[in-house]
Amino acid sequence: MILMVPLSGNLFAQKHGKKYYITGQVLDLNDKPVSGAIVLVDNKNTQVVTDDKGMYKVRVKADAETIAVFKPANGQKDEEISGRTVINFKLIRETSVHKSGELDKPENEKVNIGYGYASKKDLTTSGSKIDVQNNKNAAYQTIYEMLQKDPSVQVNGNKIVIRGVNSINSTDPLFVVDGMVVSSIDDISPSSVQSIVILKGSEASIYGSRGANGVIMITLTQAGDKR
C-alpha cells in the first residue's frame, strides 16, 4: 500500500494534465558520470544540464513523449517517456585521447554550435557545411550566393528556407554568427566568412524552439568583419 501511493499520485498528475518531474543519471561508456549534458524534451532544449554526478531533474508536461540527453563529446540518446518518472541514460560514444595528427583530419575539425564546440564528425545526422576557404577565387557578391551552394538550403533573394524542416508559422531559420544569435546576416561580407554550417533536426534542437526551422551558423575569419 505504501509503495502504491506515490505511484498513483504520479499517474493522477499525468492523467489530469499536470506537470511532473523526471529524474535520472547519465553515464558514459565506462559507467562514469557525464556532466554538462543537455536535457531535451520532445526535441526542445529545457535549459537543464546534468551535474558533476551526471544527475538531472527536469519538469515535463503530462503529454511529453520523448526525452533525450546530448553532449558533443559523448553523443545523444533518446528515450520514450511512457509515463516514467525515472529514466537513466548511457551514452555509448567512446571518447579517447587523439593520436598525433588526428586533430588535423577534416572529420575532427571543431565547429561552433552556439554553446560550445563539437567535432564535425559529431554532426553527421543533420548537419552540413559550406567550406568557402577552398573557393577563394569564387566571386561571391552576397552571403546569400554562398548559401546557394548547399542543396539543403533554398534561397530566394534574402529569404532562406532550410529544406526538411516543418513549421506552421515562420520558416525563417535561426542565424548564429561566431556563437552569437543575430537577427540578420545582410551585412556580412562574403570575404569575411570562413565557414557556414547548416543544422536541422536533433542538432538544431539545442537552441530550443528558436531552432525549429533550422540553424545557420556562420564562422568569420579572425580578420573578418561585417560590412
State pLDDT tens for residues 126-178.
566 776 655 553 677 888 988 888 888 889 888 898 887 655 455 789 898 88
The per-residue pLDDT for range 70-121, each reduced to its tens digit, is 887 787 888 999 999 999 999 876 444 344 444 445 545 555 554 445 555 5
Cell numbers that stand for 211 in this block: 531552432
Locate CATH 2.170.130.10 in the chain.
Answer: 102-220
- Ranked by mean pLDDT, the top range of 16-20, 119-123, 141-145, 201-205 is 141-145
User: Which one of 2.170.130.10, 3.40.190.10, 1.20.120.80, 1.20.1250.20 gives the CATH number of domain 102-220?
Assistant: 2.170.130.10
CATH superfamily of domain region 4-90? Carboxypeptidase-like, regulatory domain (2.60.40.1120)
The Cα 66–Cα 75 span in angstroms is 17
Please give the DSSP secondary-structure letter assigned to residue 141: S
Q: Which of 124, 147, 148 is nearest to 200 (CA)?
A: 124
C-alpha cell at 218: 556562420
Instruction: Write down the residue that cell numbers 553532449 correspond to.
Output: 71
- Provide the pLDDT confidence category of residue 196 given band limits of 50, 70 and 90: confident
